[in-house]
Every structure is written in structure tokens, then in C-alpha cells.
Amino acid sequence: MPIEKRWVVRPHGEIEVVERLAQHLRMSPVLANLLVQRGILHLNYFYKSLRISVLYLLI
């Protein structure tokens, strides 16, 4: 039997933070909003999480 998945829609992140991330990272506001919803509020957090993700790919 297939596992049933549910999408959980979270409230929109802070508009100023979303717009700043979208501009600095040159990404869509939708993707920037997803990052903000997951707690990545600053560029340093984004680069740190990206670095960790890449390291896991190399292992």
C-alpha cells in the first residue's frame, strides 16, 4: 500500500527577509520563502547549510 503524503502549508515568511534573500541569491521569491520558512534567515545560514549538503554528497 502506498504511503500517503500530506503537504503542510506554512504561513508566508517575513516579506522583507524573503525579498532580501531572493535578491542576494538571485532566486525566485517562492524559493526564498521556502528557505525562510525552514529557518534560513541570513545568507550565512544558507551558505553553511549548502556547504554541509555538498559534503554529504561527497561521502
Residue 34 pLDDT exceeds 70: yes
- Determine the pLDDT at residue 59: 56
Radius of gyration of the chain (CA): 14
**Summary mean pLDDT of the chain:** 77
Q: Which residue has the cell 538571485?
A: 26
d(CA 2, CA 9): 22
Residue 15 pLDDT exceeds 80: yes
- Name which of 21, 51, 49 is nearest 36 in CA terms: 21
d(CA 48, CA 15): 22
Look at the chain and count its residues: 59
Taking the whole predicted model, whether its pTM rises above 0.75 is answered as no
